[in-house]
Structure 1
């Protein structure tokens, strides 16, 4: 890692921790995930009855949190497998590769940085991040970079195709795992949902516009667009649909 990359990483870590802390405070205030106050039904009681102190997270909340973290780490690892296949990557990873080449920063740092910048676009769309959103920004790129640092690029067409397929399957499984936690959309998905809700765009149009813009910008910056990009675009939707039905069916019926 260059000195500039190390400096930027040193600056991003405290910012990420501040964002995560702010999200935790917000969730506590809303009786959300984590250490939480007494139920809101206690608000009508006397102060000495209502002030029972803070309760530790119950087993279900802890499992949701563990599921979220595991899913995001697997998601980052899946991205690294697809990158190392060197057959073309997904639209957002094309953009990350292009920006990494331009700035000479590590791919994982750029991935996390893109996620953080996308949260700024949530504000005019009135999207609210959750704990899952903030952890997505912090963990996905970090996990991807950790795997990239230890995994060499595949040699030969068959190993590269196998690595691409494994990465796509793992990414779909990871999506089902972290979506099932129900603790907030990722920054990219939240942007698409925000465009759908605020501007009335169909979800497919919002996704095509956002990912198409990321793909074009990344390609112009030198990101790896190839047959793997086409395979990813065509196959990841059905794969994620399958894993969400298997691993997070309740999320399909939420309003």
Structure 2
């Protein structure tokens, strides 16, 4: 039962993340760095945004293995596949608003939902995402602080995505600045809930 609960939390987190991403895309005010890359890739090839994310994810885990011998976990594969499928499905049912105020509402709400979902799926400890694998692989081979490595990865994805025609805007800045604190707050709240429930049912370990 514990395993079922653990994976249920993980997949719920991925669904929440996907919904948040779609809201930020539909706001049309700029998206997260990696989504800039995914949308830019989808603009250049006959990919949906979700499929572009899946292709990128599998290339990254292959690169992570070649560079740092980082083997993907089941959670990493599930992360890539499920988020891609969920984004494409939600893009069909969530439309872009025309009102500017509603677009900003989509952007802010999407950022909060994205961060909450990330905290939720991380708390399940079912495996890292592909970008984390690449970060760890580069950390093994480069003599730089890991924060610099992660920042470089994000800036690289953003720059290439922009060149490919991905949307960069105020939303990109908002997400870049806000996602870390939101994920941290989400993880803290989930862990508090975990501690309250642990005497009864240990859902996360």
Alignment TM-score, normalising by the size of structure 2: 0.89
Q: Counterparts of 1:97-136 in structure 2 under 5 Å?
A: 97-123=39-65, 124-136=67-79
Q: Given the alignment, which residue of 68, 78, 89 partners 1:146? A: 89
Aligned partner of 1:205 in structure 2 is 148
Higher Cα radius of gyration: 1
Question: Cα offset for 1:72?
Answer: 1.1
* 1:91 and 2:33 matched: yes
Match of 2:104 in 1: 161
**What is the CA–CA distance in structure 2 between the aligned matches of 1:221 and 1:188, rounded to whole Å?**
20
Aligned pairs, number: 192
Query: Does structure 1 retain, via aligned residues, the 8 Å contact 2:68–2:136?
Result: no
Of 81, 86, 92 in structure 1, the residue corresponding to residue 23 of structure 2 is 81
Aligned partners of 1:195 and 1:201 also within 8 Å:
no
CA distance in 1, matches of 2:191, 2:27: 28
Match of 1:182 in 2: 125
Select 1:227's aligned residue among 139, 162, 170. Answer: 170
Cα distance in 2 for partners of 1:77, 1:196 equals 31
- Runs (4 or more) in structure 1 with deviation over 3 Å come to none
Post-superposition offset of 1:196 = 2.5
Structure 2 counterpart SS, 1:244: helix
Give 1:189 deviation, angstroms.
1.8
Structure 1: 5+ residue runs without aligned partners? 1-58, 251-255
In structure 1, distance between residues paired with 2:102 and 2:118: 24
Determine the C-alpha separation between the residues in 2 that align with 1:208 and 1:60.
Answer: 35
What's the RMSD between the two structures over aligned residues?
1.4
Q: Structure 1 residues 128 and 195 mapped into 2: Cα distance closer, same or farther (>3 Å)?
A: same
Gaps of 5+ in 2: 195-205
d(CA) in 2 for partners of 1:206, 1:234: 17
Tell me the distance in 2 between the aligned counterparts of 1:132 and 1:198: 24
Larger CA deviation: 137-146 vs 188-197: 188-197
Structure 1 position 248, deviation (Å)? 4.1
2:12 pairs with 1:70: yes
Contact 1:76 1:142 in 2 (8 A): no
> Following the alignment from structure 1 to structure 2, what is the Cα–Cα distance between the partners of residues 221 and 76?
22
